[in-house]
Every structure is written in structure tokens, then in C-alpha cells.
Amino acid sequence: KLQKAHEDANSKPTFSFEFFVPKTSQGVQNLYDRMDRMYNYNPQFIDVTWGAGGRLSNLTTDIVQTAQSVLGLETCMHLTCTNMPIELIDKALKDAYDSGCQNILALRGDPPIDGGEWTAVEGGFTYAKDLVKYIRTKYGDHFDIGVAAYPEGHTEEPDQDVLIEYLKEKVDVGADFIITQMFYDVENFIRWCEKVRARGISIPIIPGLMPISSYSAFKRRATWSEISIPKHFEDRLQPVKDDDQLVRDVGTELLVELCNKLVESGHVNHLHFYTMNLEKSSVMILEDLHLIAEEKEKSLDTLPWRKSLNPT
Ligand code: FAD
């Protein structure tokens, strides 16, 4: 279970990897291979995103099952309310339970890609807090439940104070940890953490970190997530923007600085990487932070703490 790992604030930061559900069966196989390799870095957990209902969602539960019970990774399943009448939510939770998964990130879900408004499905939930409450009522303490937060505002609600009130509601109905939207403005993030703590929210805050793999992807993702790009990021990345290798090197330095500031702030002791199903950029950052050994060939299979990744 995840929340215990955050209790010792003096320990070395732990880290985790987010993976999204691939669209093809070959993509799923590649993902398993990647997860298997990334196991050796000893992430505290991995999480798997949830599509907007339908085929991709079934794949989420399959991937969670394989990651948790075959690959032995502590796994967190995202679950959204989008197109999910209660029967489908029940099935997803039961699948997670049966596979030994003990961690759910409870979300409302993205609005449709065509830009329309998000609407609740008949017989489903409207807000993430409804889902949190439901999971808690139905499964007691079996699942550690995470919720999402937005240090730079949410598309549908830019007012940070209002969002923190909504976050507090999610915590009050039973959330155990918070994972944030990606961000690059670390000063803003630290101020936001202070506000969250001042509002009486004391559960762990896990910062969502998007490594920089190419300049165009960096700009596109920041625009899509409506997050600001600090001037020094632009100043250092813009001049090398046509050389992907240099972008990755500079991006790694920027993310390492960001992570160090986060940890120094005392607000977080866990780093969560949006891998985009790629290995290299997240691993480069973790190596430079000395959180994983650079010599990747070394097998960790026989180390005694490996079994601590498995649920008891
Ligand atoms: P909520 O907290 O329920 O908020 C939804 C909207 O309702 C917001 O605009 C909020 O301001 C408003 N609101 C909340 N409470 C109230 C209230 N009491 N009264 C009135 N308004 C209220 N999406 C996916 O589809 N799949 C994923 O796997 C996925 N993973 C994510 C992981 C992370 C770490 C993050 C940060 C986001 C993820 N998302 C994912 C995106 C997320 O689903 C969207 O951002 C969604 O629009 C909001 O979800 P939420 O859980 O924060 O919803």
C-alpha cells in the first residue's frame, strides 16, 4: 500500500512511473517488456491510466493484473467516472481487487476530445469525490485511494482557492494521497503546497513530473495541460530545440534542479514520472539524482527488499 511509504520524511525520496494504455496488442507487449525492465530500478509503484470507457478500459484492468500479479510491481489503477455506470465501476474494482491491486487513483475523467462538456453517464458519478466515497464505502480500507490536484488550476476551474476546497472534499471522504498535474514552475508548486497544508490537508502530495524528450512535445504538453513554462526553461531549451539529444540533456538538468528544489522544500518525498511509456528520459533524471544506479545491467532480482514490493 502506498501511503505508508511517505511516512518517513527523512528517508531518500522514492519514485514511481505512470504508464498509459497502448492502442495495439503489440504496444501492450512492448509495455510489459518496458515495465519488466523498469522493475529493476525499484520504483515504489507504477500506475496505469484509464481510457474513456470501452476497450481501452478493459485493457487497463488487464495491464494492472499483469503488472501486479505477474511482474510483481506495486500497481495503482486509475479509474474514472466517464461513461462508467455503477455496474462497470463495480466490475473494474472487482478486477483490481482480484488481481491483488490495492491502490486506486479515483478521477472524474477527461472531457471529450471534441471539446464538448463533460457529462455524467446515467447511473454514474459526477465528481471524483463521489467515486472516492463509493470505493471507501464498498471496500473499507482495502484500497489506498489517490486523487488528482492541479497546482496551476484546472481547465474548468481556474480559481485555485475553489479547487483547494474541492480537493479538501475529496480528502474528507477518504483520499489517502494526492497526485498532481504536471508542472515546471516549482516556486508556484511550493506556494500551492503551503496553501494545501494551510487548508488542513495533510495527506502526501505526489508531484507529477513530465520529463522533456523533445522540444515540440515539451511545448505541446505544456499547452495542452495549460501550465506555465518558466523563463529559464525556455531560455535554455529554445537554443537547442532542433537537437533532440541536447534537448534531452538540458531537459534532464532542468528536471533534476526542479526535483532537488521539491525535495528541499520538505513538501514532498516522492517523485512521480509521467513516462509516456518511454524509459530513457525518466531514468536519466533518476540517475542524476542518484536515486538509481547507473549500471543498469546489475540484476536486483536477488536483493532481499525486492519482496517488499509485493503486497502482503
Ligand atoms: P474532480 O475533482 O471531480 O473535478 C472535476 C471538475 O468538477 C473540476 O472542474 C472541478 O473544479 C469541479 N468540481 C469538483 N468538485 C466540485 C464540487 N463539489 N462542486 C462543483 N464543482 C466541482 N483522466 C482520464 O480520463 N484518465 C486518467 O487516467 C487520468 N489520469 C490522471 C492522473 C492525474 C495525476 C491527473 C492530475 C489527471 C488525470 N486525468 C485522467 C485527468 C482528469 O480526469 C481530468 O483533469 C478531469 O477533468 C478532472 O478530474 P478530477 O478527478 O480532478 O475531478
Q: Which atom of ligand 1 is nearest to the CA of 128?
A: 3
| pLDDT attached to residue 206 | 97
| pLDDT attached to residue 32 | 96
Task: From residue 297, give the alpha-carbon distance in Å to each of 7, 37, 125, 293, 294.
Answer: 31, 10, 46, 10, 9
Task: From residue 140, give the alpha-carbon distance in Å to each of 6, 43, 172, 231.
Answer: 21, 26, 15, 46
CA 103 to the chain's CA centroid: 12
Residue 238 Cα to ligand 1 midpoint, Å, equals: 32
Mean pLDDT for all residues in the chain: 90
Closest residue (by CA) to atom 24 of ligand 1?
109
Q: Taking the alpha carbons of 292, 279, 46, 147 in that order, is the dihedral positive or negative? A: positive
Does the CB atom of residue 109 touch ligand 1 within 6 A?
A: yes
Whole-angstrom distance, CA of residue 297 vs CA of residue 300: 9
Helix (H, G, I), strand (E, B) or coil at 1: coil
Which of the 8 DSSP states describes residue 103? Answer: E
Strands (E) in the chain, as ranges, are 14-19, 45-48, 75-80, 103-107, 144-149, 177-182, 205-209, 270-274
Does the CB atom of residue 127 touch ligand 1 within 6 A?
A: yes
Q: Please give the positions annotated as active site.
A: 18
Residue 236 Cα to ligand 1 midpoint, Å, equals: 32
Q: What is the DSSP string of 187-253?
A: HHHHHHHHHHHHTT--S-EEEEE-----HHHHHHHHHHHT----HHHHHHHGGGTT-HHHHHHHHHH
Whole-angstrom distance, CA of residue 261 vs CA of residue 265: 6
| pLDDT attached to residue 77 | 98
Give residue-wise pLDDT tens across range 242-300.
Answer: 999 999 999 999 999 999 999 999 999 999 999 999 999 999 999 999 999 765 444 44
User: Which of 169-178, 285-294, 299-308 has the lowest average pLDDT?
Assistant: 299-308
Does the CB atom of residue 282 touch ligand 1 within 6 A?
A: no
Mutate to test the pocket of ligand 1, among 17, 64, 79, 127 (most ligand atoms within 8 A of CB): 127
Does the CB atom of residue 80 touch ligand 1 within 6 A?
A: yes
Whole-angstrom distance, CA of residue 126 vs CA of residue 173: 15
Q: Which of 293, 280, 307, 279 is nearest to 19 (CA)?
A: 279
Residue 80 Cα to ligand 1 midpoint, Å, equals: 9
| pLDDT attached to residue 217 | 97
CA angle 13, 19, 22 (to 5 degrees): 170
Closest residue (by CA) to atom 29 of ligand 1?
49
Q: How many CA atoms lie within 13 A of 215 on its CB side?
A: 16
Residue 48 Cα to ligand 1 midpoint, Å, equals: 16
User: Which of 7-16, 165-174, 207-216, 234-243 has the lowest average pLDDT?
Assistant: 7-16
Mutate to test the pocket of ligand 1, among 166, 180, 205 (most ligand atoms within 8 A of CB): 166
Residue 44 Cα to ligand 1 midpoint, Å, equals: 24
What's the pTM?
Answer: 0.92
Closest residue (by CA) to atom 49 of ligand 1?
108
Does the CB atom of residue 96 touch ligand 1 within 6 A?
A: no
Does the CB atom of residue 68 touch ligand 1 within 6 A?
A: no
Whether pLDDT at 301 is above 90 = no
Give residue-wise pLDDT tens across range 107-124.
Answer: 999 877 777 889 999 999
The secondary element (H helix, E strand) that includes residue 280 is helix 280-288
Residue 296 Cα to ligand 1 midpoint, Å, equals: 37
**Amino acid occupying residue 196:** V
Helix (H, G, I), strand (E, B) or coil at 47: strand
